[in-house]
Structure 1
Amino acid sequence: IPGLKSAEYTTLWRRIRATPFEIEQKEPQNESQESEDEGVIVALDATGMKVTNRGEWMREKWKKRRGWIKVHIICDVETKELLGIRITDERVSDSKEFENLIEQAEKTLNGRKIALALADGAHDNKDSFNYLKKKGITSGIKVRKNASTRARGSPYRAKCVRELKKIGYNAWKEKYCYGMRWTSEGFFSAVKRIFGEDMRATSREGMIQEVKMKFIFYNTIAHAV
């Protein structure tokens, strides 16, 4: 608009950092939908994002400069929608954010039940299996090849290991729709392709906000009606 001054970059970025980027909660189902709903299949995964302007957060964490941060997501494999996201430094394991992502997804789904959770071997530990058992969610976690069939703190994991060894990986993969886990990988690829995988922010808060903005914005435009 003629006569108006252009906003300064610093002002724009300050406002962006103050904007609460959140995943939109689903509308609650009606009684008819609830009776027909078989539950949601979700996929969890994590990836790294490069830090171009390696800033104070990386220096504080490592006392020297490192190159990436970690993004953990959970998606609906049918709709390919983002249901939850967590941003950490590269030291945090995938399984550490497992419960947080499931809880975020439940909040986003607003009453719909998660029926099956798909995840790679990075999520294979007793805590993840025990949590799924407590929630009544079927595990689609790929266990390690040398996994023990003994309980060792998780009878449910032991049961899943025994089943996999009995029917074989290919039959297990088909039974639990494990191939649908590509949904989360595809989400990462799309975000990196459109927005790039480099981070421009230099502070911890800035990096978290930048990542959330990219992922939630892509989720919004990809599923706009």
Structure 2
Amino acid sequence: MSKASTLAGRPKTRYRTRNWREYDRGLIARGDLTVWMSPDLAWHASEGTGRRGRPPVFTDAAIQTVLTLKVLYQLPLRAAQGMAGSLIRLAGLDWRVPHYSTLSRRQKDLTVAIPYRSRGGPLHLVVDSTGLKVLGEGEWKVRKHGADKRRVWRKVHLVIDADSHEIRAVEMTDHRHGDGEIVPGLLAQLPEAERIGVISGDGAYDTRGVYEASASRQAALVVPPRRNGKPWKGQTVGAEERNESLRAIRHLGRRLWKRWSGYHRRSLAETAMSRLKRLGERLAARDPARQVAEVQIRCAILNTFNRLGMPDTVAVA
């Protein structure tokens, strides 16, 4: 029997959501504008930063709030200023509205707060990367007439908590940087006191640097060795762990090893990438520093959505 016929005869797994009522309320709450702006928000800066020049009028939280509306509803800066002003008036607040030029200037060095829920147990992290377009035509024109030479992309690297589905770390680079070399910087964004149990990634993370970074956090690394990978020699960090995975794959087969090691949880990173791109596959900012803030704000939006409610699904026969 061929592989195709075997897969065709296998019944498709069905899933059932056990907390549909709570999840339904969470989906509705995602459209509530008071999630992003409330009277309790620290809006005006109370004191200076100690730097030379005029002290800021608005806090980072205020700038992030207006830029969140801009990213979420894909607005120009002027329209984001107008929306924020209308919400402030509807809420009966006497706050000033950041000018669009202030938003553009502050976005360049904005410290974005990405919310997450602390957990007591060791974390299971999954890491992956994707691309967001800066310049270039739409996908329909590319399919019809081919890609232009001016297509420019930025590479976004994410670390996802496999249990809470929250984004815990984010980096943005150009296409010349490999996935493995970014991992030490990603792990450095997590507090040292937070325990990491497992880190999962695809074959692009089968590098010595990733094993060293994982060992520095005392975490197990679940990464399939490359198909042409050879055992590592010497007493280098991670060599024994990687060689053991290589022997298990040769004995069990790659497919069975992935199921046995829990490697398939790595697909949660691809789900997070898909959700990130639903906020837009193109970056609106042109300056790299402003692009970083834009991506971080997207991550903050997704984590806020998760906090409002996530589905609890189980497989059914």
| TM-score in terms of structure 2 length | 0.57
Task: Give the number of the structure whose alpha-carbon radius of gyration is greater.
Answer: 2
CA gap of 1:68–1:132, structure 2 versus 1, over 3 A, is same
Partner of 2:263: 178
CA gap of 1:176–1:6, structure 2 versus 1, over 3 A, is same
Partner of 1:210: 294
Residue 276 of structure 2 corresponds to residue 191 of structure 1: yes
Aligned counterparts of 1:121 and 1:160: Cα–Cα separation in 2:
12
Aligned counterparts of 2:134 and 2:159: Cα–Cα separation in 1:
23
The question of whether the paired residues in 2 share the 8 Å contact of 1:151 and 1:157 is answered with: no
Aligned counterparts of 1:150 and 1:8: Cα–Cα separation in 2:
57
The 5 A counterparts of 1:1-225 are 1=89, 8-24=99-115, 26-27=117-118, 29=120, 37=121, 39-52=122-135, 66-105=151-190, 107=191, 111-151=193-233, 153=236, 154-193=239-278, 195-224=279-308
CA gap of 1:213–1:5, structure 2 versus 1, over 3 A, is closer
Per-residue deviation, residues 145-187 of structure 1 (Å, max 9, x unmatched): 1111242643332222122222221221122211111111111
Per-residue deviation, residues 26-66 of structure 1 (Å, max 9, x unmatched): 5474xxxxxxx3x221100000110039xxxxxxxxxx955
The question of whether the paired residues in 1 share the 8 Å contact of 2:124 and 2:197 is answered with: yes
Aligned counterparts of 1:40 and 1:79: Cα–Cα separation in 2:
10
- Count how many residue pairs are aligned between Structure 1 and Structure 2: 203
The question of whether the paired residues in 1 share the 8 Å contact of 2:231 and 2:246 is answered with: yes
RMSD across aligned positions (CA): 2.8
**Secondary structure of 1:198 counterpart:** coil
CA gap of 1:113–1:91, structure 2 versus 1, over 3 A, is same
Aligned counterparts of 1:150 and 1:7: Cα–Cα separation in 2:
56
Unaligned runs of 5+ in 1: 30-36, 54-63
Aligned counterparts of 1:128 and 1:5: Cα–Cα separation in 2:
47
CA gap of 1:212–1:78, structure 2 versus 1, over 3 A, is same
Worse-superposed segment, 171-180 or 145-154: 145-154
Aligned counterparts of 2:151 and 2:207: Cα–Cα separation in 1:
28
| TM-score in terms of structure 1 length | 0.78
Aligned counterparts of 2:247 and 2:231: Cα–Cα separation in 1:
6
CA gap of 1:11–1:178, structure 2 versus 1, over 3 A, is same
How many Å apart are 1:127 and its aligned residue? 2.1
How many Å apart are 1:7 and its aligned residue? 5.3
Aligned counterparts of 1:143 and 1:210: Cα–Cα separation in 2:
34
Worse-superposed segment, 142-151 or 6-15: 6-15
Per-residue deviation, residues 85-116 of structure 1 (Å, max 9, x unmatched): 111111110001112222323x1xx7342111
Equivalent AA in structure 2 for residue 140 of structure 1: V
Equivalent AA in structure 2 for residue 130 of structure 1: E
**Secondary structure of 2:128 counterpart:** strand
Worse-superposed segment, 145-154 or 214-223: 145-154
